[in-house]
Amino acid sequence: MNPEPQTLHLGIGNVGHLFVIISFISSILASFAYGKAAVNNELGKDPWVSFGRKIFIVHGLTVIGTVVTLFLIIYYHYFEYHYAYSHSSVNLAVHYMIACFWEGQEGSFLIWTLWNALLGFVLIGTNKKWEAPVMTIFSLVQAFLTSMILGVVFGDFKLGSSPFILMRDVMQDTVYLINPNFVTEDGKGLNPLLQNYWMVIHPPLTFLGFALTLVPFSFCLAGLWRRDFTDWIRPALPWTIFGGVVLGTAIIMGAYWAYETLNFGGYWNWDPVENAVYVPWLVLIASMHTMIVYKKSETALKTSIVLVISTFLMILYATFLTRSGILGNTSVHSFTDLGLSGQLLIYMFFFMIGSIVLAAIRWKEIPTSEKEASTYSREFWIFIGALTLCLMAFQVIVPTSFPVINKIVELFGGISSLAPPANQIEFYSKWQLWFAVGIAGLSGTGQFFYWKKMDKDKLKSAMVFPILISLILSAIIFTLQKIFDPTYILILVASMYSVVSNSKILYGLLKSNSYKLTGGSVAHIGIAMMLIGIMFSEGYSKVISKNTTIIADNFTEEENVNNVIIFLNDPKVMAGYKILYKGEGVSSESVPGYIRKSLLRETRDPHYKVAIKPIVVDGETYAEAEDTLYFRTPENTYHEIEYTSMSTGKQFTLFPRIQKNETMGRPVQSPAIRKEWDRDLYTFVQLQNDFEEENTEWSEKELISLDSIGQRFFINDYVAQYRGWERIPKVNFADLGPNDIAVRANIVVFAENDVQHLIQPIFVITNYNMVRPYELNQEIAARIRVEGIYPENGTVEIAVETTQKDWVIIQAIEKPQINILWIGTIIMIIGFMIATRRRYVEFMKMRDKGLA
């Protein structure tokens, strides 16, 4: 049978592709116009500036139009488009449809382009002096970014990958040869792991952070181009600080998503893609500090130029790493290659070579300070801090780049087999911790130099109180928390010193009503608290699900020791808790909490299930028997695990999740987290008993004859009662004709805690064939089917097969003082925001005076 022809929504895709083409051409024209204006030193309403501004506005509006068009394609489920089919589905919530937008490469390039366009609008409206040269670079970057989604083919040459390409132009399926207008009813959907509120916020914030690095980069190149080597610092600094807070916040959001969604027991895995974002942020923070030094003392200008350029180039390098496919299997986050590797390389090398050549040409002309930096000067300490940040970045980026190094060596005919660290968490952490100790010490000491002129005696006097207090506080913590590891002791002392030193500076600023100057101290306190939180939560994290027996022969020794098997309704003692596994549930938006699987019957569509019995929560009935309920995410199963404290009797229940994730090719475990003021109890299901697996061992079939209503018998040691049989009008696995018959038996099983399970095996005769599917109830570990119905004597014969009682294998981890980490991140962000506002107000005042 030929697929039914459908009407394609070609118009909206053509409009979207037209928007992309216009935005690409207009970005080139805007760059040319602004370039002419910069050469002519034009300002305001001069012809080339005016033309460039209008063209960039056209560019920005067409980028916005492209974004709206693509979202409408996703929102209205136009699955004739490959992008909508690949990333969306009809069952997605609207906020996850937004996340679909940037799941693919084309969408992520588009959201990055959008942020750049919006930032360009802000720059046009706020800085006329720098508009022409800055927007020349901005527009040129936009041309490269827009080319990534252009999707224009010239013979064998492809420029970009369009998000508006049709399925029939991509797929080789026979169905499209038979009917080019065929449209599938549903898409592949968003990766279930990304169906998380953090994934709606984290990616766009990350791309905003990427976009913000373009602003200081553009100001820096504009300054080099115009030989205005110093004035660019003032307008660029607020954007640099703001970029630091946005990108840093995005990194923290990604870490928290990993913490509550993945099951590796932490928030940072040193994955290559994580590293590729972390490294530019370190260099960005280093550039921010050297720019502040220059504003204070007119030193470190060349260092600032190098670091600002390096930050943007590292963003481009990170883009190449994650989107070229070069990381292969070394990262779970990397994209597959869409054939854009060549474009990405051209993009990266164009700006790398261009900026390095421009800086080299101007290098001798750049003013330098003749003053030698004293050991007791703010310049010296901030420079050491920036150097430490750069060394941190270097230590991470080199091993992360091993796949790139291998490719380069192979390109020149050599052989290279550099491999990423076998234990990447241990490898990176042991180095980064020592750098972190240095940063904590420097951030504590450097603040004294920033606000006062120091000499040897003054420094000793200023440091005595913070050192004494931090040692006393650290000693108390060592004693209470039983910290004996020398490395952790050093981290704690350095971090406490940073907190106390910066708190002392903060107190002095608040006392003098200098609130706007507190940003640096507040941010440094936050960072020091983050280090303390990381030290406790990672260094003293402990598995409390200890086991002394062998769970499975195919488990490693560590897996057997660190996991506990719990059988359904069979309490077990673990680390001061009595834990009880109470069954599996699924989530429906129409019912609060989780619905037991035993209360539901499957239908043909996994998103719809039928209630076997009334579903009652807290005395309120949300569904009657035979009501159909909608389940947006049927791939998620939640396991109810009740904890009871052996000492206090206090109870709480956790619902760790297992997700059947076809995108990942395997089930994915997500933790449930019990949050307390001084720790998190982190629990996830390592393995569940899947009764539908082929390897499940079932008992020999037991035949039971039921000949009277109310008859009692046993199913897997549970008492069961026969309640009769009834004819039913429809079944979920076949369409019944007028001559077909479907009946079901009603059996009640009395289980633990006064729970009654209603089991209804079905017997169907359709087209003179018998269909007798098993009815599975995993809470009693049995499956039942009707073998035969004999109306002449009212007898029903059923077959019962049983298996091992339901169980889960869990791992529970205690993570002490992790809240210090999250509180520290909030404090750090507040400090950055205070600093951003201060620098922006300073810039506005100078701009209004015509000095910036």
Residue range 688-729, pLDDT digits in tens = 988 887 788 999 999 999 989 999 999 998 999 999 988 888
- CA torsion through residues 378, 379, 385, 386, sign: positive
Q: What is the pTM of this model?
A: 0.91
Higher pLDDT, 281 or 338: 281
- Using the predicted structure, report yes or no on whether residue 2 has a pLDDT greater than 70: no
User: What residues are paired with 5 via a beta bridge?
Assistant: none
Confidence tier at 795 by pLDDT (50, 70, 90):
confident
Quick count: other Cβ atoms within 10 Å of Cβ 167? 23
Confidence tier at 737 by pLDDT (50, 70, 90):
confident
Q: How does pLDDT run across 188-216, given as a tens digit for each residue? A: 988 888 888 888 899 999 999 999 999 99
Residue 15 has a pLDDT of 96
Quick count: other Cβ atoms within 10 Å of Cβ 302? 17
Please give the average per-residue pLDDT across 301-310, as a whole number. Answer: 94
Residue 370 has a pLDDT of 62
Burial class (CB in 10 A: 0-12, 13-18, 19+), 334: buried
Confidence tier at 1 by pLDDT (50, 70, 90):
very low
The phi and psi torsions of 409 (rounded to 5 degrees) equal -60, -45
- Using the predicted structure, report yes or no on whether residue 335 has a pLDDT greater than 70: no
Among the listed residues 542, 578, 576, the one whose alpha carbon sits nearest the alpha carbon of residue 562 = 542
Confidence tier at 549 by pLDDT (50, 70, 90):
confident
Q: How does pLDDT run across 636-664, given as a tens digit for each residue? A: 999 999 999 999 999 999 999 999 888 77
- Using the predicted structure, report yes or no on whether residue 331 has a pLDDT greater than 70: no
Among the listed residues 247, 268, 294, 291, the one whose alpha carbon sits nearest the alpha carbon of residue 828 = 247
Confidence tier at 848 by pLDDT (50, 70, 90):
confident
- Using the predicted structure, report yes or no on whether residue 334 has a pLDDT greater than 60: no
Please give the average per-residue pLDDT across 480-506, as a whole number. Answer: 91
Residue 494 has a pLDDT of 94
- Using the predicted structure, report yes or no on whether residue 58 has a pLDDT greater than 60: yes
Residue 329 has a pLDDT of 56
Residue labelled with tokens 């280093």: 286
- DSSP-derived letter for residue 754 is G
Q: How does pLDDT run across 239-271, given as a tens digit for each residue? A: 999 999 999 999 999 999 999 998 877 899 898
- Using the predicted structure, report yes or no on whether residue 102 has a pLDDT greater than 90: no
- Using the predicted structure, report yes or no on whether residue 578 has a pLDDT greater than 50: yes
Q: How does pLDDT run across 366-383, given as a tens digit for each residue? A: 988 766 556 666 777 788
Please give the average per-residue pLDDT across 95-107, as a whole number. Answer: 89
Among the listed residues 782, 784, 780, the one whose alpha carbon sits nearest the alpha carbon of residue 569 = 780
The gap from C-alpha 561 to its chain's centroid, in whole angstroms, comes to 30
Spatial separation of the C-alpha atoms in residues 329 and 821, rounded to whole Å = 31
- Using the predicted structure, report yes or no on whether residue 361 has a pLDDT greater than 60: yes
Among the listed residues 55, 56, 53, 60, the one whose alpha carbon sits nearest the alpha carbon of residue 110 = 60
- Using the predicted structure, report yes or no on whether residue 495 has a pLDDT greater than 50: yes
Spatial separation of the C-alpha atoms in residues 849 and 210, rounded to whole Å = 31
Higher pLDDT, 419 or 679: 679
Burial class (CB in 10 A: 0-12, 13-18, 19+), 754: exposed
The phi and psi torsions of 583 (rounded to 5 degrees) equal 125, 180
Please give the average per-residue pLDDT across 149-165, as a whole number. Answer: 85
Spatial separation of the C-alpha atoms in residues 539 and 521, rounded to whole Å = 26
Q: What angle do CA 497, 501, 507 make, to 5 degrees?
A: 145
Residue 142 has a pLDDT of 97
Higher pLDDT, 173 or 691: 691
**Max intra-chain CA distance, the chain:** 111
| Contact in structure between 238 and 852 (CB atoms under 8 Å) | no
Spatial separation of the C-alpha atoms in residues 589 and 622, rounded to whole Å = 11
Q: How does pLDDT run across 587-641, given as a tens digit for each residue? A: 998 999 999 999 999 888 999 999 999 999 999 999 999 999 999 999 999 999 9
- CA torsion through residues 575, 581, 584, 589, sign: negative
